[in-house]
Amino acid sequence: MQINTNLSALSTMRPLAGAQLDLTRSLQRLSSGLRVNSAKDDAAGLAIASRMTTQVRGQERASRNVSDAVSLLQTADGAFGTVTDVLQRIRELAIQAENATNSTADKKALQDEVNQLLAEINRVGSTTTFNGQKIFSQSATSLGGDTNKRAVIDGLKLGWLQESEARVKQYYGIEGDGVGIGIELTAFTDGAGGTAAQVTGTGGSGGKVDNVKLQIDMADFVPPNLPNGGSAPFYNDRIIAHEMVHAIMFRSMNFSSVNGGTIGNQRGGVKGRQSVRKAGSESPIVTAGVLPCLGQ
């Protein structure tokens, strides 16, 4: 019995297969434009290339996000431009209305136009959208974020803090030293009906308290009772006034002498944390025009 083999053919097939593999790899590189197409080409190079690809694609996505933000701002700027034009027209009409030669009918016509222009401002504010979202909306789903938090910040910016400082100086004769105060709306909560707000800080130089923060419990500030700060028995603005007493004390008193020469973490509130509570708790709400005593 004899088995016929072709040793020459078998010897030729092996380099042919190797050449075919090299050709396939070369064609793959030519078609993709990449030197490393798989880990077998260069494992270390593929890892480096993958990391760089991730960074590049992330930067490209970030660039698109910036472009979207620019488009949003351009949309808002266009709305502001419209409102500016309307306000300019209202001013022109107000000056025109001062003309003594205007009849009653003329003044009524001027007022009618002003009313229409004011309605247009409201329309622009309520209908300006970007990607289906209202830019100036006061809803919880607007681009501005949570409605109640924005309202509290608005209250602080529009007078709660400034009026508090003025009353503390008026009634107690003390004022802060110009150091900023942090506002925190999410760092503290003990639930509705508990401590509504408190002031915290850490020991600093000269016996003063550093890193002063006003912490507001949003559970007690919903709704935020704008624009006048609320009604009896719970006044948001007067709670802020109460806490600002402690904030100003922190920056105007030498606590090292009070605490026997040491200053630890300071906190204004009941039993060392002189915080204002809602009706029914032991710490009274500030009444109109009166601030609590410093020793409360």
What whole-number percentage of the chain has pLDDT above 70? 75
Confidence of residue 60 (pLDDT cuts 50, 70, 90): very high
pTM > 0.75:
no
pLDDT at 144: 58
Q: Is the pLDDT of residue 254 over 90?
A: no
Write phi, then psi, for 200 (nearest 5 degrees). -125, 165
* Pairing mode, strands 129-130 and 209-216: unpaired
Higher pLDDT, 31 or 81: 81
Q: For residue 258, what pLDDT is reported? A: 59
Of residues 54 and 27, which shows the higher confidence score? 54
* Confidence at 109, pLDDT banded by 50, 70, 90: very high
What kind of fold does domain 45-131 have according to CATH?
f41 fragment of flagellin, N-terminal domain (1.20.1330)
Residue 238, pLDDT > 90, answer: no
- As a whole number, mean pLDDT of residues 123-130 equals 87
Domain residue limits, the chain: 45-131, 147-277
Cα distances from 209 to residues 167, 176, 185, 263, 268, in angstroms, run: 21, 12, 21, 8, 11
Looking at the DSSP bridge assignments, the partners of residue 214 are 183, 199
What pLDDT, on a 0 to 100 scale, did the predictor assign at position 265?
46
How many Å apart are CA 264 and CA 4, to the nearest integer? 97
Return the half-sphere exposure (C-beta side, CA atoms, 13 A cut-off) of residue 280: 5
Band (pLDDT 50/70/90 cuts) for residue 279 is very low
113 confidence band (pLDDT: 50, 70, 90): very high
Is residue 13's pLDDT more than 70? yes
Query: Three-state SS string across the chain, please?
Result: CCCCCCHHHHHHHHHHHHHHHHHHHHHHHHHHCCCCCCCCCCHHHHHHHHHHHHHHHHHHHHHHHHHHHHHHHHHHHHHHHHHHHHHHHHHHHHHHHCCCCCCHHHHHHHHHHHHHHHHHHHHHHHHCEECCEECCCCCCCCCCCCHHHHHHHHHHHHHHHHHHHHHHHHHHCCCCCCCCCEEECCCCCCCCCCEEEEEEEEECHHHCEEEEEEEECCCCCCCCCCCCCEECCEEHHHHHHHHHHHHHHHHHCCHHHHCCCCCCCEEEECCCECCEECCCCCCCCCCCCCCCCCCC
Phi then psi for residue 234, to 5 deg, are: -135, 110
